[in-house]
Chains A and B, each alone.
Chain A
Amino acid sequence: MSSRPALPAGLRLDARKTTPLLHPLLTAPAPRIAVLALDQGSGETAEPLVAAGTRVGIGTPIARAVGEAATDLHSPVAGIVVEIATRSTVAGVGRCILIENDATDARDPALVPVDWHALDGATLLDCLRGAGIAGLGGAAFPAAGKLALARASAVGHLVLNGAECEPWICCDDALMRERAADVVVGGQVMLAASGATRCTIAIEDDKPEAIAAITAAIAAAQDDRVELVELPALYPLGAERQLIEAVTGREVPHDALPPAIGVVCQNVGTAAAVARFVGTGEPVVSRIVTVTGSGVACPGNLEVRIGTPIADLVAACGGYQGDPARLIVGGAMTGRSLSSDLVPTTKGVNCIVAATLADVAVRDPEMPCIRCGDCAMACPARLLPQQLHRAALADDRDALARLGLADCIECGCCDYVCPSQIPLTARFHAARLRMQLHDAERRRAAEARERFERHERRLAEQAAAERLAFEAARRRARGAGPP
């Protein structure tokens, strides 16, 4: 066990994690109809393998990933596919597979454990690809894809992210307390799959029970490649690039991914899912979700089947209490606010908060920036939010690019400290979208110019060739005269 020096930028936030952790993990009841979004949050989708009427068991593959960022989908319940229809999901509106639960909870007989010790790295990766394991830290990027890139880049260091720095979210804490062995085994499997030789599990120091559990699990595993590192409880130390800097002391270049410096990062929940898959053959059909907030009667951490409507989860925690004003998916700083609780969960949903007005901050009206500089001190990416704000207001794209808008991780730290109550994160998000649209426009215009120039050249060459052919024909027609 070792600790690293703190990063200079970051905030100590009120964690709000005690209540859900007062009692152990519960299992949420399975939904009556499971709604599986084909786009689980990564932006890319999957192709259905089933149609209405197909009978499925728990773990039966129901969709194949299309695109690098999507994962395979498996049925979380046993029953019959009702339909494939467009529904509202956490990720927006999209096509979903609806499966009616027949309450038998029958597992697909094709699921078998994987003897991962006997497999070589590449084969193990193929196995993992079929397990639908997405990054359970929230981004839902395929774990197998990340590990494959790590293997191709000869990465040596695997970092398991148990930091969980954002207020309200404590699903990883609950996981580590109760299933520490799974996390360690998952780490070992990932080492084998990626070819890395060292695994560091990073946990923030405000989680002593989790630290103790993981330490014991590492000791039991008797694997000296796996170690635990304690980090200070700063937000957003759990963001991937900040975490890697805290653990290894090196920064990931802004235009590259972590394998460029020999590191690959995975969430501890992802590691536990990997362990469950190799141990029982069960792909990702459920995950731990924190249900909390003053608007919930009995906050807790639940093992939830993917595709369960959020309203069911709240009901499993005693239902609403008081006057919940906001429903937030995620944590206090980056969580997205939903208008309805009927949406189903996805692989990326790690926390649901039914917040009353007392839980959230109601901002005063926005004032002009007084250049106090607190935002720059809080920014974990070392940007200058007050300059970015000026440039965003002026829509000055050159300045935005120069000041590093693309490096903003939208963590919300600048918003948090601003005395003028400026909604900086929302401004930067909007500015990024505008910049992306503008860049796409410019690229298209440049391509159009190139094609036009090629078109003109082609016409000129055609005209020249026709002219030559005409001259040659005329010469032939006049007899074999001098050329």
Chain B
Amino acid sequence: MSGATLLPAVGVAAGLAATIGAALGWAASRLRSDAGSLVEQIDALLPQTQCGQCRYPGCRPYAEAIATGTADIDRCPPGGEATVRALAALLGREPKAVDPQFGPIKPRQVAVIDEERCIGCALCLPACPVDAIIGAPRFMHTVIEAQCTGCELCLPPCPVDCIELRPAAELPG
């Protein structure tokens, strides 16, 4: 192949590659999908237990850490394998087991206050991230079962250890 035929051919190919590459780059940055920002998409996959086992103060901060690449996807025990898989599918990564240093995987559980032992000190009320404990100082406290996420944050503040975790009832349907 002589230079006379080679040069134009290479030039056309290079020009096409450059144009198409530029167009794709522009499209990737300007044409966004309407599924919400990455953080919101990640947050939608997390179980919203707000337990802090991932060492972040809530599910949203963890979602932000995943989105910026600061944290890996294997830090959520309440989400379990299903959440890791869903995150892996969203981010195009390989799923992996939940890292045991962040906590064991437990089946869905709810907190139950033993009313015999509760002294009405109201220390557990502010601890609940979803306000699922109702009560008042010197009045009986109780956990609203339907709203409890099983995050275990109410256990440490209780001075008489009257809260225990029990397996949640099966969902209907």
Interface residues of A (CB under 8 A from B): 433, 436-437, 440-441, 444-449, 451-452, 454-455, 458
Contact = CB atoms under 8 A, between A and B. Distances in A.
Contacts of B147: 447-448, 451
Given A451-B147, A452-B58, A455-B129, 15 more contacts: A436-B173, A437-B171, A440-B171, A440-B172, A441-B47, A441-B171, A446-B48, A448-B50, A448-B130, A448-B149, A451-B130, A451-B132, A452-B129, A454-B131, A455-B130
Interface string B27-54: 0000000000000000100111110000
Q: 8 closest Cβ contacts across the A-B interface?
A: A451-B130, A448-B48, A436-B173, A445-B48, A449-B48, A440-B171, A455-B131, A448-B149
B47 A452 contact: no
Contacts of B50: 448, 452
6 contacts: A440-B173, A448-B48, A448-B50, A449-B59, A451-B130, A452-B129
A440 B47 CA distance: 12
Interface string B74-104: 0000000000000000000000000000000
A452 B173 contact: no
A433 B130 contact: no
Given A455-B130, A455-B131, A448 B49 contact: yes
Contacts of A436: 173
Contacts of B48: 445-446, 448-449, 452
Contacts of A444: 149
A452 B58 CA distance: 9
Interface string B148-173: 01000000000000000000000111
B57 to A, nearest CB: 10
Contact of B46 (A445, A447, A451, A455): A445
A455 B48 CA distance: 13
A454 B128 CA distance: 12
Most B Cβ at <10 Å: residue of A444, A446, A452: A452
A458 B125 CA distance: 13
Contacts of B129: 452, 455
A434 to B, nearest CB: 10
A459 to B, nearest CB: 8
B12 to A, nearest CB: 42
Contacts of A458: 131
B46 A437 contact: no
Interface string B57-70: 01100000000000
Interface string B127-152: 01111100000000000000101000
Contacts of A452: 48, 50, 58-59, 129-130
A166 to B, nearest CB: 25
A451 B46 CA distance: 15
B62 to A, nearest CB: 13
Contacts of B59: 449, 452
A437 B172 CA distance: 8
A452 B149 CA distance: 11
A199 B173 CA distance: 35
A453 to B, nearest CB: 9
B131 A451 contact: yes
Contacts of A441: 47, 171
A269 to B, nearest CB: 28
B76 to A, nearest CB: 12
Nearest to B149: A448
A254 B127 CA distance: 44
Most A Cβ at <10 Å: residue of B43, B48, B147, B172: B48
B58 A445 contact: no
Contacts of B149: 444, 448
A448 B44 CA distance: 12
Contacts of A440: 171-173
A441 B149 CA distance: 11
A336 B149 CA distance: 36
Contacts of B43: 449
A23 B128 CA distance: 69
Contacts of B58: 452
Interface string B106-140: 00000000000000000000001111100000000
Contacts of B172: 440
A241 to B, nearest CB: 21
A454 B50 CA distance: 13
B130 A437 contact: no
A302 B26 CA distance: 75
